[in-house]
Amino acid sequence: MYFGNQKFMVAGLSKSGESCARFLLERGAEVYVYDDVESDNIIAVSKELEKLGAHIVTADKYIDATLICDILVLSPGIPIDNPLPVAFRKQGKAIIGEEELGALFLRATAVAVTGTNGKTTTVSMLNSIFNACGIKSSACGNIGNPLVSEVDNLSYNDCAVIEISSFQLETLSSLRPHVAVITNVTEDHLNRHYNMENYIFLKAKILRNLRESEFAVLNYDDDIVRDFSRSTKGNTVFFSMNERMDGAYYENGSIFFNGERYLDVKDMVLSGRHNIYNALACVAVAHIMGLDKEKTASAICSFKGISHRIEIVKKVDGVTYIDDSKGTNVDATVKAVQTMNLPTILLLGGKDKGYDYHPLFTAIKDSKVVHAILYGENRFKLLNAAIKAGFVSFSLCAEFETAVHLAKFVSKPGQCVLLSPASSSFDNFANYEERGDAFKKLVEGFDEDVEE
């Protein structure tokens, strides 16, 4: 890609969009920046980029900019059927995303991870393993550290461990990872992708460029993911909790690869079935990459997890508050609920992503959840699903802050309050991190523990 005679329009000035604009400006490109959100942060970013040479595009002029610019760099938060990318497509112009831009200039070995759940934990765990084995690596992509920000920091002997969302896969075509991992595929983002067929198609895109010398690490226990092995040229390596196989598997409390024992699950800091799956995927990658077995096992066992994923915040008046704001879909929340060993008050709600919530409440009925607090934009849809499933121990309120205070009111010593919303945060927050931080701030403001 030659920057000197091409004009780029960067749409969306969140972390990834800002990184793209800086990357392009540093290379002498002419850059136009646009965001239809007028927050203080976006305005500040726009002004800073303008000082570096970018042209700011206003809402009434963005169509004119599509005629001027040659390439659209699209934020993952903007759907591919938004009028802006549609205007570029009608003119036969290129549309790429931040990860596509990064992939074009990446020198390091790529290990890419996608799936509905477990992406961030798997990427973070893999990064810890690489570091423990003496390999310079960076956890990047959808994890909050744009790939394009790391391409200059990583050389040929290094590794980029890249989290890739379905939104990013819409505009990603050039990445050829040495190892591509798919953790699972369950219903998610149907408000964006319309149906499961489209969502499954996007997840499978991560395998599209694999050659016979590369590897697809797939969850054998997920029927959809297992079938991806039929359509990839890469070498398939499965992982499973249910069956012993050629690959990574769980048996008698331990994780093995092709009969070689790596670790005992009881030695892991992280608990829960979902984290065993994450560890299995990491063992498969480590074996493919020829990493030291003992160092790999030690890194997995000592890994403490990620922020906002079943993270204990504080104990107040005998009640343990747990932040699982990253639980943005039904499957993630079910997995979080299944890890609860004490009676639990569950906070559910936010912006609907097109789910059927009936399976959620069916699972909740057989769990430690004793009460659910339904809040946010989708609270009435959650309410209807709860009643339909026969789960009647719930409260209803509109605002997130009210829901957290209500949870404090109804909880009793020896119980847990779990924020695992099964919904997007976009009704009131910029992202799940902001929602989780708001939860933590509210909990930190509660009275200190009362000695029993």
Residue 315 pLDDT class (50, 70, 90 cuts): very high
Q: Is the pLDDT of residue 318 over 90?
A: yes
Identify the pLDDT of residue 39: 81
> What order of strands is seen across the sheet that includes strand 215-219?
137-141, 159-163, 109-114, 179-182, 215-219, 235-240, 247-251, 254-257, 260-264
Encoded amino acid at 299, one letter:
A
Residue pair 305/311 in contact by the 8 Å Cβ criterion: yes
According to DSSP, the residues that pair with 355 across neighbouring strands are none
% pLDDT > 70, the chain: 99
Q: What is the pLDDT of residues 122-134, one digit of tens each?
A: 999 999 999 999 9
Identify the pLDDT of residue 24: 96
Q: What is the pLDDT of residues 333-381, one digit of tens each?
A: 999 999 999 999 999 999 998 889 999 999 999 999 999 999 999 999 9
Q: What is the pLDDT of residues 253-298, one digit of tens each?
A: 999 999 999 999 999 999 889 999 999 999 999 999 999 999 999 9
Average pLDDT over residues 191-209: 89
Identify the pLDDT of residue 448: 60
Smallest CA-to-CA distance from 297 within 326, 265, 337, 342 is with 265
Q: Is the pLDDT of residue 214 over 60?
A: yes
- Cα–Cα distances in Å, from 95 out to 16, 98, 170, 233? 15, 10, 10, 26
User: Higher model confidence: residue 450 or residue 238?
Assistant: 238
Angle, CA 387 vertex, CA 382 and CA 393 arms, to 5°: 90
Residue 44 pLDDT class (50, 70, 90 cuts): very high
Q: Is the pLDDT of residue 450 over 60?
A: no
Summary mean pLDDT of the chain? 94
Q: What is the pLDDT of residues 414-449, one digit of tens each?
A: 999 999 999 999 899 988 999 999 999 999 999 764
Q: Is the pLDDT of residue 189 over 80?
A: no
> Is the entire prediction scored with pTM above 0.95?
no
Identify the pLDDT of residue 452: 41
Identify the pLDDT of residue 430: 83
Residue pair 238/247 in contact by the 8 Å Cβ criterion: yes
Q: Is the pLDDT of residue 229 over 60?
A: yes
Query: Could you give the CA distance from residue 113 to residue 105 in angstroms, rounded to a whole number?
Result: 19
Query: Could you give the CA distance from residue 312 to residue 320 in angstroms, rounded to a whole number?
Result: 7
Residue 90 pLDDT class (50, 70, 90 cuts): very high
Identify the pLDDT of residue 194: 72
Identify the pLDDT of residue 354: 85
Identify the pLDDT of residue 60: 84
CA of residue 51 relative to chain centroid, distance: 32
Average pLDDT over residues 57-75: 91
